[in-house]
Structure 1
């Protein structure tokens, strides 16, 4: 069953129709549409877990086909303010495999870091997967050519190592899990953005 049918069924179960319900449904639909854009194959279907309407922004929780739970904040006109992974599913392919657009990162022999150049469409995100061990130090910086991009870092178990922050702030810290770590770069600006992602592990 598609996201749309599930969301519509949930609202239809309410006994009365009112502008609040319509605004909430528009926010839900906006979150679903955005997840379909950034969620890869798993994001094309799933279920709406909950929604909490607010005139400021509606909080919508979604679960995609792969079992990853997403947190979405959207407005009554369907515009998405934020879409991020709340609880990543492990499908055996590493942290959050299949959840969204992913790039496997590797270093050249004899080096401890790399710099990647990339471009993101407005509202899109890309995940960079890198294997590392507990007690190693990770350095990350996102240098955008235009407005600041956001990024967040996930541990191998899907928990946050670093919650979403602006790319103008670098991250440097010790890892506490071994396995695939995920650095997700997010474009919340209204235009396509080019950027360099600098990653180092020692």
Structure 2
């Protein structure tokens, strides 16, 4: 959560005291979240603006591929919203969610937690792979919740075989695993329009 490592450079704010501290915390929280959901381009970029309010801080971020993201962060460090305002593909297919592309990211749970919720956006024909380390006999929970449009998903075992074949996002999955290692949940947009979504994972 350091700007030097992330290569994010915040503009200077002429605000002192609690507001500037809260803005800094919100900036950090949004940067961390963008690194989780933004694919390769989300690992660096710039903070375009940061507007503090008691209800929540609005942070606008532009990633390395030029995509503009809107983030709302709360005082406790949680994220209320992370969405794409203006998508921009850099031409090399690096942007997660670019048409026809497949992104990949590892899902990490907070210490002491057995679940995680991420947000994303997929262009038509694009997919996003989520990698979860789990053990034989543990139970996996997956819920994909599109905010507009429709999505599908598949779940693959560490050996590449299918744990769950193509499934519509309106059906959640809960089942026991029979292999140990990295399981892959791939969310797929087979529609003709971009889809924003939340995806929830649980391992017990």
Indicate the TM-score class for this superposition, using the shorter chain for normalisation. Answer: 0.5 to 0.7
- Specify the alignment match of 1:142 in structure 2: none
1:121-161 alpha-carbon deviations (Å, 9 max, x no partner): 51243625339xxxxxxxxxxxxx877824346xxxxxxxx
| 1:65 CA drift (Å) | 0.2
Q: 1:3 to 1:58 in 2, by over 3 A?
A: farther
Q: Do structure 1's residue 125 and structure 2's residue 120 form an aligned pair?
A: yes
C-alpha root-mean-square deviation of aligned residues, in Å? 3.7
Q: Do structure 1's residue 182 and structure 2's residue 184 form an aligned pair?
A: no
TM-score if structure 2 supplies the norm length? 0.53
1:81-106 alpha-carbon deviations (Å, 9 max, x no partner): 1000000113336xxx433367849x
The CA distance in 2 between the partners of 1:2 and 1:63, in whole Å, is: 16
| Long gaps (5+) in structure 1 | 106-118, 132-144, 154-166, 169-179, 194-202
The CA distance in 2 between the partners of 1:146 and 1:130, in whole Å, is: 21
| Conserved 8 A contact 1:51-1:59 | yes
Q: 1:5 to 1:104 in 2, by over 3 A?
A: closer
- Specify the alignment match of 2:110 in structure 1: none
Q: 1:2 to 1:86 in 2, by over 3 A?
A: farther
- Equivalence map 1:1-40=2 (5 Å): 6-7=9-10, 10-11=12-13, 14=14, 17-40=16-39
| 1:22 CA drift (Å) | 0.6
3-state DSSP class of the match of 2:53?
A: coil
TM-score if structure 1 supplies the norm length? 0.53
| Long gaps (5+) in structure 2 | 102-106, 108-114, 127-140, 150-168, 171-191
| 1:182 CA drift (Å) | 2.6
3-state DSSP class of the match of 1:43?
A: helix
The CA distance in 1 between the partners of 2:147 and 2:95, in whole Å, is: 16
The CA distance in 1 between the partners of 2:84 and 2:63, in whole Å, is: 10
